[in-house]
């Protein structure tokens, strides 16, 4: 641990993607930087979120491919799942990336405190281990990057054995025979795809009208139909009334619009709580600072500075979307602001979203409904993967499509929505297009390599500007 009574240009409380990226950028800018993390640097994304879940999902995707290998002219023998081995590979991937983050922090000269950080004032931070202050540092600036945790309703008997959060279920080395997932957002749908692929009986409960409610209606409708075809029981507009633990779980549910008072009962081995996350802002010393909030999230200016000068907030504690790449960009932006450099302001409508389902869902910007409700006169371009060469080659052409929502008069791209094999890999290009104020005409003028999945975007753009090349196939 760094020596006590040190003076720093910047102290960062929280070592997730927002915090450790900000620390590295600050150190590269010549600031003496302290990073304070009570668990492991890398945060939820590395240890309990993005990385471990996507590692498991990759194994599930391979299993699905092998199960259908005969379609590709490949004959396999008996196909089995060794989930403990899949679990160990996940741990290896996490450990390797964790060591990489540690190495980057050390290489860039960041002082890392393995402890809790609590603000004493905007110029002083207390370092606390096991409830005891072990150090106190002087600082010129503070960045809060404490992240979020799974939301656990108070009326749910959360025991970490039968009732689990996404944190807990990643520790299990067994595939459940049955699971009920509360929440049809990205986390819930990813776990639904994972366990369905491995033969688990899966039920998804969603309070709202649609699963993936932040996605375009055509997208979430397609995902729902795909899940149902694969045997997933999807119950939307359904509320969870009661949970009992009986060597498994017993749930009492009812339809949101059911005024008769009828109740249904579901049983499963496990219950996974995936109904959102809450910001972690307790016990970090902000209670006396009179910081401004937007609901439960800290309010910041365009440079991520709070109402207290010299105190910044980044990542999940600043509000939706709760995404690692959004947090990383806020970390860079906060350091850019406090060092007085020219900033590029984050357009929150220009943040790509990816759901790592089978197939993937990726989007950016406004849905068609959102654009129309805002008064835009929209023009829609849509192209199916059923007419895309690479999708057909890879055997991933069913159901998928790309949809562009554009403003009719000038061709401004308001949103892009896609469902298909690894569509998340090229969604960054739409973010760049927005930064450069590109139009649908310019996307149609771009040269896309052939054959690639991304050509579906090219065709969708042409369907707005004139006609898609492959419109006869559609």
Assess whether pLDDT exceeds 50 at residue 2.
no
| Residues 319, 314: Cα–Cα separation, whole Å | 9
Q: What is the pLDDT of residues 79-110, one digit of tens each?
A: 999 999 999 999 999 999 999 999 999 999 99
pLDDT of 473 reads 43
User: Domain total for the chain?
Assistant: 3
* Pairing mode, strands 249-255 and 264-268: antiparallel
| Residues 310, 383: Cα–Cα separation, whole Å | 49
pLDDT of 5 reads 58
Share of the chain above pLDDT 70, in %: 98
pLDDT of 259 reads 73
Closest CA to 442 of 422, 464, 420, 421: 464
311 and 402 in a single domain? The answer is no
Which residues are part of a known binding site for FAD? 54, 117, 146-148, 316
Confidence of residue 472 (pLDDT cuts 50, 70, 90): very low
Is 434 in a helix, a strand, or coil?
A: helix
Which residues are part of a known binding site? 54, 117, 146-148, 183-190, 206, 276, 316
Q: What is the pLDDT of residues 55-72, one digit of tens each?
A: 999 999 999 999 999 999
Residue reference for tokens 């991304």? 454
Share of the chain above pLDDT 90, in %: 86
125 and 13 in a single domain? The answer is yes
Please report whether residue 2 resides in a domain.
no
Tell which of 275, 306, 322 closes a domain: 275
* Residue 116's CATH number: 3.50.50.60
| Residues 36, 27: Cα–Cα separation, whole Å | 14
Closest CA to 14 of 129, 143, 130: 143
Q: Global pTM? A: 0.94
Closest CA to 356 of 17, 16, 52, 149: 52
pLDDT of 345 reads 84
138-147, 364-373, 419-428, 459-468: lowest mean pLDDT where? 459-468
63-67, 415-419, 463-467: lowest mean pLDDT where? 463-467
* Residue 368's CATH number: 3.30.390.30
Given a contact cutoff of 8 angstroms between Cβ atoms, the answer to whether 145 and 281 are in contact is no
Given a contact cutoff of 8 angstroms between Cβ atoms, the answer to whether 357 and 444 are in contact is no
134 and 25 in a single domain? The answer is yes
Q: What is the pLDDT of residues 109-150, one digit of tens each?
A: 999 999 999 999 989 999 999 989 999 999 999 999 999 999
DSSP state of 316: G
Domain interval for residue 195? 163-275
User: Which residues are catalytic, by number?
Assistant: 450
232 and 335 in a single domain? The answer is no
φ and ψ at 12, to 5 degrees?
A: -115, 125
């Amino acid at each position: 641990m760094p020596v006590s009574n040190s003076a720093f240009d910047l102290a960062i409380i929280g070592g997730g993607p927002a915090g450790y990226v900000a620390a590295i950028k600050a150190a590269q800018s010549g600031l003496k930087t302290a990073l304070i993390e009570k668990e492991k640097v890398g945060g939820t994304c590395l240890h309990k979120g993005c990385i471990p879940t996507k590692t498991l999902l990759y194994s599930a995707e391979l299993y699905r491919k092998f199960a259908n290998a005969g379609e590709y002219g490949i004959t396999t023998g008996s196909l089995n799942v060794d989930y403990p081995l899949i679990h160990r590979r996940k741990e290896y991937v996490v450990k390797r990336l964790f060591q990489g983050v540690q190495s980057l922090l050390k290489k860039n000269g960041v002082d890392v405190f393995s402890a809790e950080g609590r603000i004493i004032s905007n110029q002083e931070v207390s370092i606390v281990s096991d409830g005891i202050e072990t150090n106190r540092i002087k600082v010129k600036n503070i960045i809060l990057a404490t992240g979020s945790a799974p939301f656990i309703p108070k009326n749910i008997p959360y025991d970490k054995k039968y009732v689990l959060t996404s944190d807990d279920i990643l520790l299990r080395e067994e595939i459940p025979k049955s699971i009920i997932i509360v929440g049809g957002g990205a986390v819930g749908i990813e776990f639904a795809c994972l366990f369905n692929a491995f033969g688990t009986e899966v039920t998804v409960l969603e309070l709202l009208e649609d699963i993936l409610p932040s996605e375009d209606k055509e997208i979430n409708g397609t995902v729902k139909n795909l899940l149902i075809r694969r045997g997933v029981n999807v119950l939307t507009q359904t509320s969870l009334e009661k949970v009992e633990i009986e060597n498994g779980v017993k749930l009492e549910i009812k339809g949101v619009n059911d005024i008769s008072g009828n109740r249904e009962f579901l049983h499963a081995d496990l219950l996974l709580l995936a109904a959102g996350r809450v910001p972690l802002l307790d016990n970090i010393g902000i209670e006396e600072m009179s910081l401004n909030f937007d609901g439960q999230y800290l309010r910041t200016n365009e440079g991520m500075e709070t109402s207290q000068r010299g105190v910044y907030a980044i990542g999940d504690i600043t509000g939706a979307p709760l995404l690692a790449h959004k947090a990383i960009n806020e970390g860079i932006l906060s350091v850019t602001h406090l060092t007085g450099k020219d900033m590029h302001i984050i357009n929150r409508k220009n943040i790509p979203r990816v759901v790592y389902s089978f197939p993937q869902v990726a989007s950016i910007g406004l849905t068609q409904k959102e654009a129309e409700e805002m008064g835009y006169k929209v023009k829609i371009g849509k192209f199916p993967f059923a007419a895309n060469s690479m999708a057909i080659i890879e055997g991933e052409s069913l159901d998928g499509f790309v949809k562009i929502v554009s403003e009719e008069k000038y061709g401004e791209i308001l949103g892009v929505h896609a469902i298909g094999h690894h569509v998340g890999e090229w969604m960054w290009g739409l973010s760049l297009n927005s930064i450069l104020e590109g139009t649908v005409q310019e996307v149609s003028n771009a040269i896309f390599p052939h054959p690639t999945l991304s050509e579906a975007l090219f065709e969708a753009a042409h369907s707005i500007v004139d006609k898609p090349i492959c419109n006869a196939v559609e």
